[in-house]
Structure 1
Amino acid sequence: MAAEREKMYECEVKRRRVKEGGGYEPFWKVKSVATALTDSDTEFRCKDCFGAVKLLGRNGKVTTVPYVEHKLTADSEFCVSGLLFKKATDGRAAKPSEHPVE
């Protein structure tokens, strides 16, 4: 039996927008992973805990849907989207990542 994987199909991607005084400022926008790849986005983070995620399932096969999963186990344990948080039976509370992606 294959191990169960954490699969999140939405994440935040880093974008830029024009500032009022000129120049650009970064901001984070929630997108589906598939759309982010189509838009050629390169910086990703979890939309709930703001922790680092890794991009998987983007090999281009027709039946494969791209997704992200937490890089750090601690993020998965305390993020509402995390597999380990969902499986926990100790009544833990969700919290942001201790190492958020800025």
Structure 2
Amino acid sequence: MAVAERERFYECEVKRRRVRATGGYEPFWKVKTIAEALEDNDTEFRCKSCGGAVKLFKRRSEDGPATHIEHKLKSDSEYCAEGLYFLKATDGRQPRPSSSPVH
């Protein structure tokens, strides 16, 4: 029996804060590798291509898959330029932003 193909992304956007010129802080999204994000204790992630919600999968053993993220919603994967379902589609669809983006 073949193992099911899974999405695996190793980069994402993480929510950060920076000082606003007028004072206070403002949120912004920064592209990082998953390893960097975990090392920096980041907690909010989204897909760097479509802005959709992602879930984090940590490596559980030495011979297991590397720590990575996958789209939470199949609809995001179907229309994200990096999504597994988008890449396998043969209907000529065009990539688009997530219908439920993470802000």
Give the TM bin, normalised by the shorter chain.
Answer: over 0.9
1:18 paired with 2:23, answer no
RMSD: 1.1
**Is the contact between residue 34 and residue 65 of structure 1 (CA under 8 Å) also seen in structure 2?**
no
Equivalent runs, 1:1-102 vs 2, <5 Å: 1-59=2-60, 61-63=61-63, 64-102=65-103
Count of residues in Structure 1 that have an aligned counterpart in Structure 2: 101
The SS at the match of 2:77 is helix
Cα distance per residue 1:47-90 (max 9 Å; x no partner): 0000000001244x345421100000000000011000000011
State percent identity of aligned pairs. Answer: 62
Partners in 2 of 1:62 and 1:84 — Cα distance? 28
Partners in 2 of 1:16 and 1:58 — Cα distance? 28
Partners in 2 of 1:66 and 1:10 — Cα distance? 10
TM superposition score normalised by structure 1: 0.94
Partners in 2 of 1:62 and 1:27 — Cα distance? 34
Q: Which moved more, 1:49-58 or 1:8-17?
A: 49-58
Q: CA deviation at 1:2?
A: 1.1
Partners in 1 of 2:41 and 2:62 — Cα distance? 19
TM superposition score normalised by structure 2: 0.93
Any gaps of 5 or more consecutive residues in structure 1?
none
